[in-house]
Amino acid sequence: MNHTYNAQPGQVPQYGQPSAAHMQAGYGQYQQGYPGQQPYQQPGMQAGVPGGPASMNAQMVYSFEQARHSSTARAYGEMTLGLLLTAVVAIVTQMSNGLELFLAATGMIGWIGLAVIQVALAIFLGARIMKMRTGTARAMFYIYAALMGFTLSTIFAAYDLGSIGLALGMTAGFFFVLTMLALTTKIDMLKAGPILLVALLVMIVGEVILLFVAPSDSMLMLVSAIGLLIFAGLTAYDAQSTRALFAQYAGDPETIKRLSILCALNLYLDFINMFLYVLRLFGDRN
Confidence band, pLDDT 50/70/90 cuts, at residue 163: very high
Confidence band, pLDDT 50/70/90 cuts, at residue 17: very low
Crossing angle between the packed helical segments 253-282 and 161-184, to the nearest 10 degrees: 130
Domain assignment present for residue 29? The answer is no
Nearest to 280, CA basis, from 221, 222, 208, 229: 221
Domain assignment present for residue 124? The answer is yes
Domain assignment present for residue 27? The answer is no
Range of the domain at 76: 5-16+49-282
Burial 218-248 (b: 16+ CB within 10 A, else e): eebeebbebbbebbbbbbbbbbbbbbbbbbb
Tens digit of pLDDT for each residue in 55-69?
555 554 545 565 567
Domain assignment present for residue 233? The answer is yes
Of the given ranges (36-50, 152-166, 199-213, 242-256), which has the lowest mean pLDDT?
36-50
Confidence band, pLDDT 50/70/90 cuts, at residue 186: confident
Domain assignment present for residue 198? The answer is yes
pLDDT value at residue 11: 43
For residues 143-161, average pLDDT: 93
Domain assignment present for residue 219? The answer is yes
Tens digit of pLDDT for each residue in 202-213?
988 888 888 787
Q: State what percent of residues in the chain have pLDDT above 90.
A: 45
Reduced to 3 states (helix: H, G, I; strand: E, B; else coil), residue 98 is: helix
Domain assignment present for residue 43? The answer is no
Nearest to 8, CA basis, from 190, 178, 148, 129: 148
Which helix (DSSP H) or strand (DSSP E) does residue 210 occupy? Answer: helix 193-213
Nearest to 285, CA basis, from 155, 166, 170: 155
Number of domains composing the chain: 1
For residues 143-160, average pLDDT: 94
pLDDT at 126 over 90: no
Tens digit of pLDDT for each residue in 215-249?
777 888 888 999 999 999 999 999 999 998 888 88
Domain assignment present for residue 40? The answer is no
Report the C-alpha gap between 261 and 242 in whole angstroms: 11
